Amino acid sequence: MNKKYFLTLNSFIIALIIGAISWYFSKDFISTALAILFGVGFYFLLSYSLVEEVFSIEEKLKEKMQKTMHELNTPVSTIQINSKLLSKNVHEEKSLQRLSKIDRACGELLRLYDEMEYFIQKNIDSVEIKSYDLKELVDISVGKFDDIKKDVLIMIDINQVQIKTDKNGFITILDNLIQNALKHNQNITKIEIFFKDKILYIKDDGEGIDSENICNVFNKYFSDHKAKGFGLGLSLVKEFCDKNSIDIKIDSSEKGTTFKLGLSKIM
């Protein structure tokens, strides 16, 4: 909430309260109007400096968090780049495995960085809604899993489709759905991502989710014993979809799980 909106809202509430009290006792428009003007003016006189200080602290905190996030990103990126350069000159299997672990860990840190940066932006700044190519967003998300998908085949079949959305938020829900498929399925061999009839499908061929747990997978901290837990990921997906008019559904059986994202309202 910005300072101007905060002061305006509080002034409106104070004006209503003073107006109601004054009218109750005086039944006079002029007296009521003067009481409102005096009350709102007195509120501004007492609270402006305090409100100014509070929002000044918030602005400084915002700047500090953004600066810190930037400073965190730089060394992690440096480690990742140098790890890849070293791997070109290293031929010993154990050393290559260690460098690969470093690279994967850096990738995970960068993913967490992206999520934290988006969280800060969502809660402090206004999130920008723009038009994006759906396949481009899917490609960005899928590319993050190149180093951890192992032998899992990820197939994409999406033609040119434009959606209006919060780019970082939409990519984050894709990340969570793909990550859940990879992490919580022992026998998964492929993930299919395709678009049909204004619905985005994310389908895997893993062992599926028990039918009695289908209704609970979007609950915060839900844990499916077979799937080793879903944590916060799917609850965040549901929260974003509800907020952004995306209809999300899930089908699951022993042959796999399919998430369906209805995008008709953001096209």
Fold for 129-266, please state it: Heat Shock Protein 90 (3.30.565)
Return the bridge partners of 154, or none: 191
What does the block give as tokens for 192? 């299919």
pLDDT tens-digit readout, 159-184: 989 999 988 889 988 988 988 888 76
Which pLDDT score is estimated for 200? 96
3-state SS assignment for residue 5: helix
Integer Cα distance of 250 and 204 in angstroms: 12
List Cβ neighbours of 227 (8 Å cut-off, separation of 6 or more): 184, 185, 209
Instruction: Summarize the chain as % helix, strand, coil (round to 5).
Output: 60, 15, 25
Q: What is the pTM for the complete model shown?
A: 0.60
pLDDT tens-digit readout, 98-134: 888 888 788 777 777 777 766 666 665 556 788 999 9
Mean residue pLDDT of the chain comes to 79
Which pLDDT score is estimated for 58? 61
Evaluated on CA atoms 75, 80, 86, 92, the torsion sign reads positive
Q: How confident is the model at residue 75 (pLDDT cuts 50, 70, 90)?
A: confident
Domain ranges of the chain: 1-78+104-125, 129-266
What does the block give as tokens for 125? 């700044």
**Sheet with 247-253, edge to edge strand ranges:** 153-157, 190-196, 199-204, 256-262, 247-253
How far lies 209's CA from each of 6, 83, 173, 191, 199, in Å?
Answer: 46, 38, 19, 16, 21
User: Are residues 168 and 121 in contact, defined by beta-carbon separation less than 8 angstroms?
Assistant: yes
Query: Between 213 and 235, whose confidence is greater?
Result: 235
